[in-house]
Amino acid sequence: MKNLAGMMKQAHQMQSKMQEMQEKLVELQVEGQSGAGMVKVMLNGKGEMRGLSIDKTIVDPEDIEVLEDLIVAAYNDAKVKVEATVSEKMKEVTGGMNLPEGFKLPF
């Protein structure tokens, strides 16, 4: 029974740490870019877009598809960085414990 009580205490502590981490993720800012930095996207730790910056020299009304592709690429770059950062923070919270595949937190 001592082991069970200890495990429950650890689980509660981990839950508290995860909740704290989720709150901090909203404040996290990650930048992704494309086109040699001509398009930049800012995401928070939950993957929500918080900003978009486009260098005016790449805006061509005759070729809007290029701009669209650059925005998508910058967003994807930022998303990969967010996922890597969240994964590292999760390792800190879980003490390196591997979670089952497909078990994504905090999303």
Residue ranges per structural domain of the chain:
2-94
**pLDDT at residue 103, rounded to an integer:** 54
Q: Phi/psi class of residue 95: alpha, beta or left (left: φ > 0; alpha: ψ in -120 to 50)?
A: left
Structure token pair of residue 56: 């005016």
CATH number corresponding to 2-94: 3.30.1310.10
**pLDDT at residue 9, rounded to an integer:** 78
**pLDDT at residue 100, rounded to an integer:** 56
Contacting residues for 26 by C-beta, under 8 A, at least 6 apart: 44, 45, 46
Indicate the pTM of the whole model: 0.74
One digit per residue, pLDDT tens: the chain, 107 residues? 568 887 787 777 778 887 888 888 889 999 999 999 999 999 999 999 999 999 999 999 999 999 999 999 999 999 999 999 988 888 887 776 555 555 555 44
**pLDDT at residue 7, rounded to an integer:** 77
